[in-house]
Chains A and B, each alone.
Chain A
């Protein structure tokens, strides 16, 4: 035996010694949680791995939601897909249409003999991810809903009551004027996610249909109808308020510039996801933050409906070895445990997605210690969702959101009136829907 072969075989022996006698089945979980939420997610996987020895969940960070979804699709086409992938809510239409690729969660749990009761989940969350017969297709994991954050110190300086946030859009306008006139801040309010918050949620809160076919839940042939008086009026107002300096645009997509405007106390109010809570608290060291539900037009609706959700769910992909699915089902059971859910909710600011996790957080006194942390969940569950507030489901919706951003920028830039901009979103959006319909 020559020297090289000797070292090689010695190396192989030591390698094989380090592997335990019975290896656990590894299950890939691709996700898009960076930063602190990503670290927390890895802890959750570790918790599951420590709770049993047959399966090992391997979380893999794949970048943004877009990148994770595109990566998983590319992997599926190359037959290298993970068993679990986290997909954001606007990708739901794409995933649902891919029936050959998706193993629906209700089916998985039934096949693997794991307990499954979808009534445990909070209605607006689970409704978003059900098929037309009411079966849940993906496991809700991190859901959020938009809320309003406001700067209590600025309110006080402007002579407003820091404990009374604006309730209606008329309040938002009046408060913003007072704040700017008093010099307490340079801008009244800003908003992340014009598409999600100032368009989709706006229509849901006011019980207006977003499209035909039950907001897209009823089939791929839905057509957008949100070019109604409400959206046109609201977009027109935002433009007017921008020109007056009451409102400042935070940028397209998620609005990267909105958070710094709030943190630097330039804008007194700020609308963003409830999951931004940890970030807001960390960055707002110099002032006190208040939390409030989204404003509404009280001449359109007396009592606003529930807001709709964002965030992501876990989809199971087909084509993995059978024993992995057993582990996936067990992992999903673990994820639904009230302690696991409550811990994730309290850490991240995402909603507690089961009633039990919400109750547990209440019992633990979390909301008393953290006032405002339940604004999102209260807003989401304040009424039974109607067909208009259940959520939305469309194919190619990522592009449609891009179109919303385009036209909103054209409106703010003075190129189009509110009516022209909203009509154009609907017309261009419908082309995307027809494209998707013909490709699927």
Chain B
């Protein structure tokens, strides 16, 4: 087996070359992560005059707090819904785009646009459209006999943030799926067609297995996105309400730390989130990268 190992004659040069990257990692990740870890064992007043070392009290309180367990549940529901919806819709759109790609590039460009929108702006857009008083979608729903009020109905609120988060992520997934579909050799599909397989059969038996690495990659990325990158959407649309029904874990970190000024609890929550990210990354590398055939 051939290795890709490069041997540097100079002993210091390789360290110098990775020094900038290491520096960035230390300053923007290791240092803050270590601070958060340390703070998660402390109890402090907001200004930091009184600091007590409380061992695992912040963690114990979190896991005894039914609201934190609820936030876990919301995050699961949210992340799973967003991941399933955004990947299936993106795959459908990408498959459809393959058919028209040679004639129209406008179609794919339009589909990519939402990705360029900042999460907060996406949130506000949906907030407007679904606003129970002035929103056009809420108005249309009402005329169809469906009463919409995400201010007091927890399910409505969850649907709203799922739609907003999904809409923003479809573009990203679409790009990856489109690229993956384009790399599937046409000869294989033609061979399948000659053998008498219809388009649906060809898709599931030939195309889909070939794009499975992309699909698995996107599933992990989408879970990470839904769990950690949707703060702006939640903040702009529901602010975790009504009655904390759309409070996902990242939002709770912000709310307890920045609004509530309970830094110890907020730090403990971010440590837990950090562990989840590490776990997800490990899953991606250990299992998915190995077991999926390329």
Contact = CB atoms under 8 A, between A and B. Distances in A.
Given A249-B151, A264-B133, A439 B242 contact: no
B153 interface: yes
Interface of A: 66, 70, 73, 76-77, 94, 97-98, 100-101, 248-253, 257, 260-261, 264, 266, 396, 398-399, 402, 405-407, 409-410, 412-413, 415, 435, 438-440
B243 A409 contact: yes
State the 3 A-B residue pairs at the shortest beta-carbon distance, nearest first. Answer: A409-B242, A409-B243, A412-B152
B159 to A, nearest CB: 15
14 contacts: A70-B259, A98-B46, A100-B49, A101-B49, A251-B151, A252-B151, A252-B239, A252-B241, A261-B133, A396-B262, A406-B244, A409-B152, A409-B241, A412-B242
Contact of A413 (B132, B133, B134, B153): B153
B45 A98 contact: yes
Contacts of B131: 257, 260
Interface in B245-291: 255, 258-262
B239 A398 contact: no
B189 interface: no
A73 B241 contact: no
B168 interface: no
Nearest to A190: B133
B232 interface: no
Contacts of B242: 252, 405-406, 409-410, 412-413
Contact of B259 (A248, A260, A399): A399
Nearest to B247: A406
Contacts of A396: 260-262
Interface in B217-245: 239, 241-244
Contacts of B44: 439
Contacts of A250: 151
B152 A76 contact: no
B132 A257 contact: yes
Contacts of A101: 47, 49
A72 B294 CA distance: 53
A435 to B, nearest CB: 7
A440 B46 CA distance: 9
Contact of A73 (B154, B244, B261): B261
B50 interface: yes
A266 B50 contact: no
A76 B154 contact: no
Contacts, number: 90
A405 B46 contact: no
Given A100-B47, A252-B242, 17 more contacts: A73-B47, A101-B47, A249-B152, A252-B151, A252-B239, A257-B133, A396-B260, A398-B259, A398-B261, A399-B262, A405-B241, A405-B242, A409-B242, A410-B243, A412-B242, A413-B153, A413-B243
A409 B151 contact: yes
Contacts of B243: 405-407, 409-410, 413, 415
B261 A94 contact: yes
B46 A94 contact: yes
Interface in B102-138: 131-134
B183 to A, nearest CB: 46
A260 B45 contact: no
Interface string B42-74: 011111111000000000000000000000000
Interface residues of B, number: 28
Contact of B258 (A70, A253, A435): A70
Contact of A260 (B48, B134, B154, B258): B134
Given A257-B131, A413-B154, A399 B241 contact: no
A406 B152 contact: no
A162 B272 CA distance: 58
A98 B241 contact: no
A439 B259 contact: no
A73 B46 contact: yes
Contacts of B50: 439-440
Interface string B139-175: 0000000000101111000000000000000000000
Nearest to A399: B260
Nearest to B65: A431
Given A251-B151, A410-B243, A413-B153, A260 B133 contact: yes
Nearest to A405: B241
B270 to A, nearest CB: 16
A175 to B, nearest CB: 20
Contacts of A409: 151-152, 241-243
B259 A66 contact: yes
A248 B131 CA distance: 13
A423 to B, nearest CB: 15
A70 B256 CA distance: 12
A438 B243 CA distance: 26
Nearest to A97: B45
Nearest to B155: A413
Contacts of A249: 149, 151-152
Nearest to A261: B133
Contacts of A399: 259-260, 262
B47 A98 contact: yes
A77 B47 contact: yes
A397 to B, nearest CB: 10
A70 B259 CA distance: 7
A415 B154 CA distance: 10
Nearest to B44: A439
A210 to B, nearest CB: 20
A439 B57 CA distance: 13
Contacts of A266: 133
Contacts of B259: 66, 70, 398-399, 402
